[in-house]
Amino acid sequence: MSTENREKLADIEEEGSSQKVARQGFIVSFMTFFSRVSGLIRDIALSYVFGASAMADVFFVAFRIPNFFRRLFAEGAFNQAFIPVMVEFKAKGREELRIFLSSVSGLFGALLIIFVFLGFIGSDFLVMLFAPGFLSDPGKLAQTSDLVRIMFPYIGFISLTAYAGGVLNAHDRFAVPAITPVLLNLCLIIASLLWIWEVFDGLAVVVLAWAVLLAGLAQLAFQIPSLGFLGLLVKPKLDYRHSGVKEMGILIVPAIFASSVGQINALVNTVIASNLVEGSISWLYYADRLLELPVGMVAIALSTVMLPHLSRQSSSGSEDSFNGLMNWGILMGLGLGLPAGIGLYILAVPLVSVLFMSFEGGAMTDYDVRMAGLALEMFAIALPGFVLVRVLSSGFFAKKNTKQPFRYAASAVAVNLLVSLATFRALGHLGLALATALSAWTNVFLLYFGFRRHKIAAIKVMTPQLVKVYLLCLLMALGLGTWSPDDLIWLAQDPLDRLAKLLIAILAVLGLYLIALLGLGFRARDLRPSV
C-alpha cells in the first residue's frame, strides 16, 4: 500500500473514530437525560408527600448514607482505577481479561459483604456521623438508623452494578449502564404512589427504604444479561495477588478521594445542615436534585465516554488523539455547562416552584420554594465547575495518575469546610451552597494548572469556538435576566401559567442560543473530537 493510500486510510479511520465518540456521547447523554427526568419525577412525588418536613429530613439523611458510599467507592474511585487497568488487559486477549475480571469481582464482592455487614451493625454511628444534629432528638435518630439498616445492603448490589457498568463501558456498551438508574426512580415513584393511595398508611418512609433495596437488586439483574452476551460473566475468584488487582489497589486509594469531592462536600453540608433550622437538609436536597440533571447529561456523560477512549489512547501512545479528545471535552463541557448554569441561576425559583409545588395539596410551601431556590442559585454557579472537574480528572485517571487529583481534591474539600464553618451561622443553608460552589472552582483551577505543570495534555480554554460560547452566554444571561419575574409575583400565579411561561422562556432561549451558534460558524463537525 502506498504512503498516500495509508494516509487516506488513516484519515478515514480517524473520522470514523471521532464520529463514534460523538455518537456514544450523545447516546449516554440521552439515556442519562431520561434517567434524570425520571429522577425529577421521583423527587416531585417525594416533595408532594413530604415537602420540607422533619420526616423528609429523616429519609433524605438515611438515603444519603448508602448513596454517599455508592458514589465514593463504586461509581467513583472503583471505575477510575478499574477501567484504565481493564483496557490494558483487554488488549492482551480475552482469556487474560477473563482472569482479571474473575480476580477483581471475587475480591470486590468479598469486601462488599464485609462492608455491608459493618454498616448494618453500625447504623447508629453512621447517622451520628452524617447528622449529629439528630442527637438532640432520640426519636428522629432511631427512625433514621432503622431506615439505614434497611437500605444499607443496597450498596452491595449497586456497587456490583457499577462494576458491570464499567466492563460494559470499556467495551463501548454505554446505553445499558446509562439507563439502569431509571429502575431506582421507578421503584421510589411506585412507593410514593402507594403512600398517596394510603396502601401503607403511616409507613411511608419504611416503604421507601425497602423500595431502595429492591431497586439495587433490580439494577444488578438488569445488567447481568449484557455481561453474558459479551462472554464476560465470569466466576468470582479470590486472588489478591493478581498483577491487575495489585495495580488497581495502588490507584484506587487516592482515587477514592479525588473522584468524590462532591460527595464529601455533600456530607459536610448534611452534617452542618442537621444543626440548622428544620427543612435545611430538604432545601439543599431539592436544589441538588435540579443540579443533577445537567450534571448527569453533560459531566457524567462526557467522562463516561471519554475515560475508556483516553485510556486506550494513553496506552497506545497516541498523544495527538489524547490532546484532541481532551480539548473536545472542554469545548463540549463549557458549551453546554455554561448556558445550563446561567439558566439554573436565573430561573432557580421558577424551576423549583414548577417542579415541586405544582400540585394542590402538596407539602411544599412558598417559603420552602424560595429557600431551595436560593440554594440552587449557588449550585448553579458551581455547575460549569462540576463539568470541568469530571473532564479534567478523566485525563489524569487515563494516565493512571491518581495522586495529583487526590491532592487537588483535598484542597477543594478544605475550602468547602472552611467556608461552610465561616458562613453557616450568618447565611444558614445558603452559606453551605456557596461553599460548594467555591470548592468546585478551586478544584477546576488546580486541575487546569496541574495539567500544564505535569504535561498531561495540551489543553486550551480560549479557542475561537470557546470565545464564541462565552459571548453567547453573556447575551443569554442578559436576555433571561430581563425576562425573569420577581419571586413573589411568580409564586402568586396559577401553577399552569407558571409552567407555560417557564417552558416558553426555556425553549426560546435554547432556540436563540443554537441559532446564534450556527450564525457564528458552529457546524456539526465541531461537535466531533479530533481523535
Per-residue confidence (pLDDT) for residue 442, from 0 to 100: 94
What's the per-residue H, E or C state across 375-437?
HHHHHHHHHHHHHHHHHHHHHHHHCCCCHHHHHHHHHHHHHHHHHHHHHHHHHCHHHHHHHHH
56 contact partners, CB below 8 Å, separation of at least 6: 46, 50, 279, 281, 282, 285, 363
Tell me whether residue 7 is in a domain. no
- Phi, psi for residue 106 in degrees, rounded to 5: -65, -50
Q: What is the pTM assigned to this prediction?
A: 0.75
Closest CA to 465 of 401, 530, 378, 418: 530
Closest CA to 287 of 116, 423, 157, 436: 436
How many domains, the chain?
A: 1
Residue-level pLDDT, tens digit, the chain, 531 residues: 444 444 443 443 444 455 666 676 677 777 777 777 787 788 777 777 766 667 777 887 888 888 877 776 666 667 677 778 887 888 788 888 888 888 888 888 888 899 889 988 988 888 888 778 777 778 888 888 888 899 888 988 888 888 888 888 878 787 888 888 889 888 888 887 776 555 455 566 788 888 899 999 999 999 999 888 888 888 888 877 788 888 887 777 777 766 667 677 777 877 888 788 877 888 888 888 888 888 877 887 788 788 888 888 887 777 888 888 888 888 888 888 898 898 889 888 888 888 776 554 456 678 888 888 889 999 999 999 999 998 998 888 888 887 888 889 889 989 999 999 999 888 888 899 999 999 999 999 999 988 888 777 778 887 887 888 888 888 888 877 777 777 777 777 777 777 888 788 778 777 777 777 776 666 556 555 555
Closest CA to 289 of 347, 196, 337, 351: 351
Tell me whether residue 3 is in a domain. no
CA atoms within 13 A on the CB side of 296: 25
Per the document, the length of the chain is 531
Distance in angstroms (rounded) separating the CA atoms of residues 62 and 84: 33
Per-residue confidence (pLDDT) for residue 260, from 0 to 100: 66
Q: 3-state class of 232 per DSSP?
A: coil
The radius of gyration of the chain from alpha carbons, rounded to an integer in Å, stands at 23
Tell me whether residue 481 is in a domain. yes
Q: 3-state class of 179 per DSSP?
A: helix
Per-residue confidence (pLDDT) for residue 351, from 0 to 100: 86
What nine digits make up the cell of 255?
Answer: 482515587
Per-residue confidence (pLDDT) for residue 5, from 0 to 100: 45
Distance in angstroms (rounded) separating the CA atoms of residues 150 and 188: 14
Closest CA to 79 of 173, 165, 21: 165
Per-residue confidence (pLDDT) for residue 222, from 0 to 100: 92
What nine digits make up the cell of 387?
Answer: 463539568
Per-residue confidence (pLDDT) for residue 445, from 0 to 100: 92
What's the per-residue H, E or C state across 337-383?
HHHHHHHHHHCHHHHHHHHHCCCCCCCCCHHHHHHHHHHHHHHHHHH
What nine digits make up the cell of 241?
Answer: 495477588
Domain that holds residue 70: 15-527
Tell me whether residue 214 is in a domain. yes
Q: How many helices (H) and strands (E) does the chain have?
A: 22, 0
Buried b (16+ CB within 10 A) or exposed e, 325-342: bbbbbbbbbbbbbbbbbb
For the beta carbon of residue 495, count every other beta carbon within 10 angstroms. 13
Tell me whether residue 198 is in a domain. yes
